[in-house]
Structures are given as structure tokens and as C-alpha cells.
Amino acid sequence: MDQPKKKRVMVWGARIICVLGLSLFISNVAVAAEIAGISGSSAELHKHYDKSLRGKTIGFVPLALGSPLMGSWDYNMRKEAKECGMIYKVKDPNWNAQASAQAISAFIAEGVDVLVAHNMNMQLLAKLLRKAEKKGIFVIQINMVSNYKTDVFVGADWYSIGLRQAERVLKHCGKGTGKSGKVAIMQGELTSAANIEQVEAIMSVLKNHPEIKVVSSQAGNWDSNIEHDNMATILKQHPDLCATIGIWGISHLGAAQAIKEAEMTDQVLVVTSGGGSVQICDAIEAGLIDVYFNYQSLLQGHDIMAAAKLLLQSGLEPGQAKIALFSPVFEITKKNSSYSCFPYPFPEEMMEALKIDYPFLPISE
């Protein structure tokens, strides 16, 4: 069967898994509750909550810290872990494959309770993650799903984002719009799961519309400079470009700049996606970007913690659950750009929140 259909099936499959997983998980909690003989009062819940969470460690291995996306994850996990008395550790491999493998195995060696992995590609960490689960560690993967499905996946649903991006482009350049229908796709890292899925989704839509011509589909390695130069060239070559689709807003800003320099901001529709940091909203205000699909990395951070809490309380063994939490995606345009982004780097008062020492009740038997 042809790729896109297969994909769509997969995605739907994923969603079903997700729903099933949730139900399964709820039933689990019920079971757990029964075993724990809880009457249902909040105090009892609280006791259960504290018992299963407090003092547990959660380890985080991002690709690298220092970008809004991973920064916001880091921020939320740090904060919420502190709130529920969990110990939060992060090891920063800074885009280095060996290093992230090292970090994971270091966490395994140190024996954390929950391991949050941001996978560089589809199977860099697969084997290690399996090892971790074998060692009794819950594993949460974020944004880039590895081909080894661990307990929980938290992240953007690239495929649907891709579909929605394509739809918007169709609306702008498709039949009857009288535009050239020329579209440029600015890819990121060609082997990253996100990239693969999103691009496939986009193509799966666009290829059913002959009036749309994809004039360029190049990888910019998440680098705004490369995207800038490429876009400049493309524009010279296709002055009638109708739209450009970017995978990651931050790097796509480069392309947007190029369009601005060519004074074609009105003509070219700039569609991209990302975690929704303030720079993007500024760019939308400035008219550099027209449509932005925001999968709200701050919320993702929260989801990660939620998933961690669920797993720890569920009484499941690592490897039993198969849960996917696809992030809600908001479409940001000029209309809502004023309030839809989070500031980055985080303002002082937000950082203050990390310094609070939260009061804890003693765990009563």
C-alpha cells in the first residue's frame, strides 16, 4: 500500500493506542486504588500520591539545552518535580550522539525511576531505552518517537501538523486562487522522525493537487543561515513563489528574513510550526510569518510530568503501558499572536518560581 495511506493508518492506530492506553491506565488506577484500600478521600489520595512520588528521581536527556523548545520542557519539569518532591536531574549531551547515549546509560547506571529521553533520531537510543525498561525504569520519549515504543510518548503529532500546514497552503495557493502554486519546503534534519513524518504528510496532501508545484525541498539542518541563503536563491529563481513551509519556526525565520529582504512578504505565505516561543510571535507581528502551528512546548513539559506521575502511581511495571500523549496544536496568526507565545529566555519572575521551596506534609502511614 502507498506511503501516505499507510501513514494515516499508523497515525490513527497511534491515536487508538492512545485512547486504549488511557482507558487501560484508568482501570489500572482503579485496581491500584482497590489494592491500596483507599476510601476515596482527598487525604488518602494525597497519601498515595506522596508515597509513590516523593523522593523519586526523574532524569532528562534532551538533545541540548538552550533553545526555547527544550528550555521550556526543562523549565516545567524542574518546577513540577520540585512541587511534588521529586528529584530532577538533567544531562546535556549538546547535540552529540555518543554523549546522549552516555547520558542515558549513566542514568540507567545511577538507577533513576523515570527516564525522559529526547531522541536524536529514530533509533539512536532504542536499544538503551529497552535496556532501561528491562532495568525497571519508566521511559518517556518526547517529540521524536524512536522505533522502540516505550511506556509513554509525549510530543507533537507531526503528521497531523503536516496535514494542517498543507491544507493552509492549499487554501492560499490552490485552485481558484490564481496564484502560481509554487511551494518551497524548508526541511530540517532529514533523518529525524519529526521531519520524516511531517514532510510525508505535507507531500501526501500536496501531491493530490497537480496545480501545486514543490519547487524546492531542502534540508537546512535547523540552521537559519542556510535557510536564509537557500530561500534567497529560490526567490530569485522563482519570483512568483506562492508559499513556503518550514518544519521548525526558529530556523525558518531565516527564510522569512530572505523573503522580507526581497519585499515579497505579502506575496509569499510563510507556514511553519514549533514550540511557540516569543520570537515567533514577534515575527508574526512583524508579518514575517503568516501561519504558525504551535504545539506549545510549555504544555508538553507539563504533559511529561503528568505522564511521569501517572506511571509512578499506576503500579504498572515499566514496559507494560503504551501511551501516547500528542500535544494539542494551536494555529497562530496575526489575530492571536499577541497572547499565544511564551517569553524566552524566561523572565526573572518565572525563574524565581524555580527557587521556591515547597512545603511538604510528612508522609503519614
Partner 1 sequence: MSQLNDGLLQLRYRWSFKKFLAELLEKRWMDGIIPFGIMVCVILVFGSQVENYFSPDVLAMTAREFAEPGFVALAMAVTLISGGIDLSVGGMFAIINFLSLMLTHIYGWPALAVVPAALAVGALMGALNGFLIGFLKTRAFLTTLVTMIAFRAIVKLLNLEFAPKIALSAKTTFYESTVWDYMGDGSFLGIPSNVVILLVVAFIGHVLLTRSRPGWRVYAVGGGRRSARHVGIKVERTIFFVYVISGILTALGAVFYAARLDSAASETGMGLEILALMAVVLGGVSILGGKGTPGRALMGIVIVMVITNALLRLGIDSALNSLIQGLILLFAIGIDVKWLKHLYASIEKIYVVPTYLSLPKALDPRPGSGTVFEFNDRLKDAETIGLDQIDGPEDVILDRQGRLYGSVRQGWIVRFSGDDFSKRDIFANIGGRPLGMAFDRDENLVVCVGGMGLYGVRPDGEVYKMTDETNRTWTRLKDDSRIRLADDCDIAPDGKVYFSEATIRYKMEEWPVDGQECRPNGRLICYDPATDRTKTIVRNLIFPNGVCLAHDGRSILIGLTWKCDVLRYWLEGPKKGRIETVISGLPIYIDNINRASDGNYWLASVGLRTPVYDLAMRMPSFRLRMVKFVPPDEWLYPNVNWGCVIKFNEQGDVLESYWDPLGNYAHVTSMREHMGYLYLGGLHNNRIGRIKIQGADPEWTGPDSYWGKK
Partner 2 sequence: MNMSSGELLNSKAGPGSVVKAALKSLTQEQIIVLVTFVFVAIFSIFINGFATVGNLMVLLRNMSVLGIFSIGMGIVVIGRGIDLSQVTTGAVSAAWVLKLMHDGMGITSAILLGLALVLLVGVINGYLIAFIEIPPLFATLASGICVYGFVRHFLLELLNNHYVPDTCKDFLFLGQGKIGGIPMPVICFGLIALFVHLFLSRISYGRFIYAQGDNEDAARITGIGVRPMKVLQYTLCAAIGYIAAIVMASSTASLNVRIVDSTLIFDVVLVVVLGGISLVGGRGSVLSVLAGTALIGTLLNGMVIMNLGIAQQNLVKSIVLLGAILLDTFLHPRDEETARQGDI
The answer to whether 281 touches 340, Cβ cutoff 8 Å, is yes
217 binding partner 1? (CB under 8 A): no
The answer to whether 65 touches 90, Cβ cutoff 8 Å, is yes
Among 60, 138, 153, 222, binds partner 2 (CB under 8 A): 222
232 binding partner 2? (CB under 8 A): yes
Nearest to 275 by CA among 292, 256, 290: 292
Among 223, 264, 287, 330, binds partner 2 (CB under 8 A): 223
**Residue the block writes with cell 503536516:** 162
By CB under 8 A, the count of residues binding partner 2 is: 40
Residue 208 CB, nearest distance to partner 2 (Å)?
A: 22
291 binding partner 1? (CB under 8 A): no
261 binding partner 2? (CB under 8 A): yes
**Residue the block writes with cell 510563510:** 270
Residue 273 CB, nearest distance to partner 1 (Å)?
A: 21
Among 250, 299, 324, 325, binds partner 2 (CB under 8 A): 250
Residue whose CB is less far from partner 2, 13 or 239: 239
Residue whose CB is less far from partner 2, 74 or 197: 74
76 binding partner 2? (CB under 8 A): no
Residue 103 CB, nearest distance to partner 1 (Å)?
A: 6
What are the DSSP calls for 71-97, one per residue?
HHHHHHHHHHHHHTT-EEEE---TT-H
Q: CA-to-CA distance for 38 and 118, rounded, in angstroms? A: 36
Q: CA-to-CA distance for 177 and 172, rounded, in angstroms? A: 7
Considering only residues 277 through 316, tell me which ones interact with partner 2, judged by CB under 8 A: 279, 282
CA 35 to chain centroid, in Å, comes to 35
Cis preceding linkage at 93, omega within 30: no
Taking CB under 8 A as the binding criterion, the range among 4-12, 52-60, 210-218, 312-320 that sits at the site for partner 2 is 210-218
Measure Cα distances from 106 to 135, 139, 145 in Å: 13, 14, 21
CA angle, 248 then 252 then 256, to 5°: 150
**3-state class (DSSP) for residue 255:** helix
103 binding partner 1? (CB under 8 A): yes
Among 105, 265, 279, 336, binds partner 1 (CB under 8 A): 105
Residue whose CB is less far from partner 2, 56 or 228: 228
Among 48, 130, 209, 322, binds partner 1 (CB under 8 A): 130
Among 251, 272, 273, 300, binds partner 2 (CB under 8 A): 251
Considering only residues 58 through 87, tell me which ones interact with partner 1, judged by CB under 8 A: 64-65
Q: Strand ranges (DSSP E) for the chain?
A: 57-61, 87-90, 114-117, 138-142, 152-155, 182-187, 213-219, 243-246, 269-274, 291-294, 323-326, 330-332
Considering only residues 97 through 156, tell me which ones interact with partner 2, judged by CB under 8 A: none
CA angle, 274 then 305 then 252, to 5°: 10
Among 67, 121, 300, 314, binds partner 1 (CB under 8 A): 121
Buried b / exposed e across 78-104, counting CB within 10 Å, b at 16+?
A: bbbbbebebebbbbbbeeeeebbbebb
Interface positions with partner 1 (CB under 8 A): 64-65, 89-99, 101-103, 105-106, 108-110, 120-128, 130, 147-148, 190-191, 193, 196
Interface positions with partner 2 (CB under 8 A): 64-68, 95, 190, 215-226, 228-230, 232-239, 250-251, 253-254, 257, 260-261, 279, 282, 345
